[in-house]
Amino acid sequence: MDSNTRNGNTRAIITGGAQGLGLAIAHQLAEEGAQALVLIGRSEEKGRAAVAAIEALGAEAHFISAELSDIDACQRAGAQALERLGTVNALVNAAATSARGTLVDTTPALFDRIFATNVRAPFFLMQAVVAHLLNSGSTGSIVNVLSMAAHGGASYLSPYAASKGALATLTRNAAHAYRGSRIRVNAVLPGWMDTPGETVVQQTFHDAGENWLAEAEAGQPMGQLVKPDQLAMLVAYMISPQSGVMTGALVDYDQTVVGAAD
């Protein structure tokens, strides 16, 4: 199978699909021949632009605006996505919030918002897609986007790290539960990533200047942060049939090696 057509049968739902990593994944899937994609995000303007870009690559594309931290909106978006595509065999949970909070200053409201977006939304979208696959007797693939913070995380990412740890366990649990139905569930754990959203985070929470990216990359072992288009190729591979029996895998994608010491 040629790499440009390895996702030729893919009909996928992608959260966070209108920007950053989610959009990069959508682009990669379309370039690899995906039939149809539903992108779920918040901004209608970004959604329209993303749909136009995906359609220009030859794939059918739709956008659904939803606030995934709202459970009713989340479940409604999942149902709408299934209705628009008719048949779905892939899901990428890329949407997340990395709002800052330490163990001692995180409020119940912040905790609930982070877990609603980063854990509850993926859970119920996975529920919808897996139920669809089981009912249709079809195989499928799910990729959850976690974070290296799932290994522990910075002190100011306490609820975020906890949410990604929860999603890691959910990934393994679902992979084990549905492997007999040939539904594969995997995850990637990216490190510090260069996205428009990260720029907002750095400026909002860390008083970063306009040259924050250059300064950050200068201090990295490989001279760059994680790039969405590079990581998107791995996610597309994990979605595709070429990844074979791979399921329950949590793949670190970073230049930091967990447990290593100088």
Active site residues: 160
At a CB cut-off of 8 Å and minimum separation 6, what does 173 contact?
none
What sign has the CA pseudo-torsion 173, 179, 185, 187? positive
Residue 124 is encoded by which pair of tokens? 């119920």
Separation between Cα atoms, residue 110 and residue 51, nearest integer Å = 32
* 3-class SS string, the chain: CCCCCCCCCCEEEEECCCCHHHHHHHHHHHHCCCCEEEEEECCHHHHHHHHHHHHHCCCEEEEEECCCCCHHHHHHHHHHHHHHHCCCCEEEECCCCCCCECCCCCCHHHHHHHHHHHHHHHHHHHHHHHHHHHHHCCCEEEEEECCHHHHCCCCCEHHHHHHHHHHHHHHHHHHHHHHHHCEEEEEEEECCECCHHHHHHHHHHCCCCCCHHHHHHHCCCCCCCECHHHHHHHHHHHHCHHHCCCCCCEEEECCCCCCCCC
Rg of the Cα atoms in the chain: 18
